[in-house]
Amino acid sequence: MSVELPLIGVIACNQQLGSHPFNIVGEKYLLGVVNGAKGWPLVIPSLGAEQPIEAILASLDGILFTGSPSNVEPHLYAGDPSEVGTHHDPKRDATTLPLIRAAIAAGVPVLGICRGFQEMNVAFGGSLHQKLHEVGGFIEHREDKEASLEVQYGPSHSITVEPGGVIYEAWGRNSAEVNSVHTQGVER
């Protein structure tokens, strides 16, 4: 007997390890697909213009746009230049932004976490606060790097879930406790 699992694409980041560039994905995202979505993750390398978008979308049941140590390049949303030393991943930007637009147009479900959500906003013309904690009026979303992972990634605030949406239908409730770990956030 064969059981089909949903195949979920998971976006990779680029990182230099020694002398070689690598495409990497945090295990927490892969396990989220396996344990949370009961699917199987397939890593989508961030190779930029080399991606066969139609073939990728035809092969997947959804795409997870992950968090990352890097930030979306500000010139992609008409933002001011980043502070010196800010980590960017131009190949990831060149991969994710067109892939997000194509996935939405094709009706392929997407989920954006942290950088992935910020990429979704930028892909459709939005802008970002580069340092959300300096804007004022928002709760602190940066992690305490001295805290344990359980604390860093544990629930930190409430959200309201709108009735009639996909998340409400999946959870069946109008609020939840979640965590948020990021420096940047949606401006417009």
Mean pLDDT for 50-57 is 91
Quick one: pLDDT at residue 50?
Answer: 78
- DSSP line for the chain: ---PPPEEEEEPEEEEETTEEEEE--HHHHHIIIIISS-EEEEE---GGG--HHHHHHH-SEEEE---SSB--GGGGTPPPPPTT--B-HHHHHHHHHHHHHHHHHT--EEE-THHHHHHHHHTT--EES-HHHHSSS---S--TTS-HHHHTS--EEEE--TTSHHHHHH-SSEEEE----S-EE--
Under the banding of pLDDT at 50, 70 and 90, the label for residue 146 is confident
Quick one: pLDDT at residue 129?
Answer: 87
pLDDT over 90 at 27, yes or no: yes
Structural domains in the chain, CATH included, are: 1-127 (3.40.50.880), 131-188 (no CATH)
pTM comes to: 0.87
